[in-house]
Amino acid sequence: MKKVSLISLFILISTLLFGQAVEVDRPVAVIKLHKTEVLPQSKYIRYENTMKLQKQGVELSQDEKVQLLDVLINQILVRQDAETLGIAVSDEEVLPAAMEGLSMELQQLGQIPAGAVLTDPAQFRALLEQNGHDYDLYIENAKNSLLIEKYITETRRDDFMNMPGPDDEAIEGFYNQNIAQFAQPEYVLISQIFFSLGEGSDKTAVKAKAEDLYRKISGGQLNFDEVVKEEGDNFPFTQVKGQPFTVAKADGQAAQYFGESFTDALFADKEISRVYLLESNVGFHIVRLDQHKEAGVLKLDDRITPMQEITVRDYLSRMIYSQMQQELYAKLQMEVVLDLREKSEVKTFEDAL
């Protein structure tokens, strides 16, 4: 009798535990495209908690919960169809994409500088957890996003290939509506040979070296273009020795760095293509003015900067084309999801949300 009671008790406990497990992991959706797949409540709750984190702890409305459920269902449908088509995302692609995504989020929060991108996996994980994210879920979501992007671009490749670029009317219309953005201050484009007055430098010796080279160039013994990339010190404003660069008349940072006497001298009725020897706060400069542009508004076929070939028209064409691609991608994403929904069997349990 005692033995039977122990067995009965074991069955009762097992039933209760099993019942609790089923309750915790009850399905919120059952999806079948190429195979039947269950989306459990526990996984949905993890995604919901992530959404709540983004809303600073505010509970999701029922409509938002249904929208989240739809997104998760769509991810499963795309993944199933991608598998049958042999479309996949490698693990090597996922982590950099996830780190880039978190970097953008942290930039918006002011936790890392604008433009900074995380590259250390350990730091990435620590910052994720510090900001309350579920690491595995974040990685999974990044993988799903990459897979959807690859799936759409591969299955709808022709739509992207056949998309026309923006016409002149669209480019000119955008330019006219945003013309104030293309205002340009007065500036000079200069090439130079720079002699630095770094810490511990002998100013007299540095000046004598600059003057000697200047005399040889002025006297025709040396050609400025031939020596500009070889002589002098590397200049902190450029990546390549002797590389041309611009100085704007209203550039307060340049005036502070070089000294106003130097920047004023660049705009003081100097002849284009003539070589001058100037002194600044940071050293001596054998300078040639290559261009002097008055303040004004850039026209469509003007270069964005004198050092680059790209014009305002080129820039706007690329920008508008990129916007058109994003709009096309959003349209195709909707079409793809609707098509997969029509081909699949989806049952949802919204009472479990």
**pLDDT tens, position by position, 50-99:** 888 878 888 999 999 999 999 999 999 999 999 999 999 998 999 999 99
Q: How many CB atoms lie within 10 A of CB 66?
A: 14
Report the distance separating Cα 173 and Cα 126, nearest Å: 47
**DSSP-derived secondary structure letter, 311:** B
Amino acid (1-letter code) at residue 340 = L
Domains observed in the chain: 2-162+330-352 (1.10.4030.10), 186-294 (3.10.50.40)
DSSP bridge partners of 287 = 192, 276
Q: How many CB atoms lie within 10 A of CB 137?
A: 15
Q: How many CB atoms lie within 10 A of CB 206?
A: 17
- Per-residue CA distances from 41 to 25, 47, 351 (Å): 5, 10, 11
Does 255 have pLDDT greater than 90? no
Please list, in sequence order, all residues whose beta carbon lies within 8 angstroms of the beta carbon of residue 134, skipping any fewer than 6 positions away. Answer: 46, 49, 50
Say if residues 289 and 271 touch (Cβ distance below 8 Å): yes
Does 339 have pLDDT greater than 70? yes
Say if residues 267 and 188 touch (Cβ distance below 8 Å): yes
**pLDDT tens, position by position, 206-237:** 999 999 999 999 989 998 888 887 887 777 66
Backbone angles phi, psi at 164, to 5 degrees: -75, 155
Angle at CA of residue 279, ends 278 and 280, nearest 5°: 125
Please list, in sequence order, all residues whose beta carbon lies within 8 angstroms of the beta carbon of residue 285, skipping any fewer than 6 positions away. Answer: 192, 193, 194, 195, 210, 262, 277, 278, 279
Q: How confident is the model at residue 9 (pLDDT cuts 50, 70, 90)?
A: very low
Does 345 have pLDDT greater than 90? yes
HSE toward the beta carbon, residue 275, CA cutoff 13 A: 22
Report the distance separating Cα 262 and Cα 98, nearest Å: 47
- Alpha carbon 213 to chain centroid distance? 45
Amino acid (1-letter code) at residue 77 = L
Q: Which pLDDT score, from 0 to 100, does residue 237 have?
A: 67
Say if residues 324 and 311 touch (Cβ distance below 8 Å): no
Q: How confident is the model at residue 15 (pLDDT cuts 50, 70, 90)?
A: very low
Q: What is the average per-residue pLDDT within 244-265?
A: 85
Q: Which pLDDT score, from 0 to 100, does residue 139 have?
A: 94
Buried-exposed string 107-122: b where 16+ CB fall within 10 A, e elsewhere: eeeeebeeeeebeeee
Q: Which pLDDT score, from 0 to 100, does residue 138 have?
A: 92
Percentage with pLDDT > 70 across the chain:
92
Q: Which pLDDT score, from 0 to 100, does residue 147 have?
A: 95
- Alpha carbon 17 to chain centroid distance? 49
Backbone angles phi, psi at 223, to 5 degrees: -95, 125
Q: How confident is the model at residue 249 (pLDDT cuts 50, 70, 90)?
A: confident
Lowest-confidence segment of 97-106, 147-156, 162-171, 267-276 by average pLDDT: 267-276
Structure tokens at 170: 């669209």
Amino acid (1-letter code) at residue 57 = G
Q: How many helices (H) and strands (E) does the chain have?
A: 13, 9
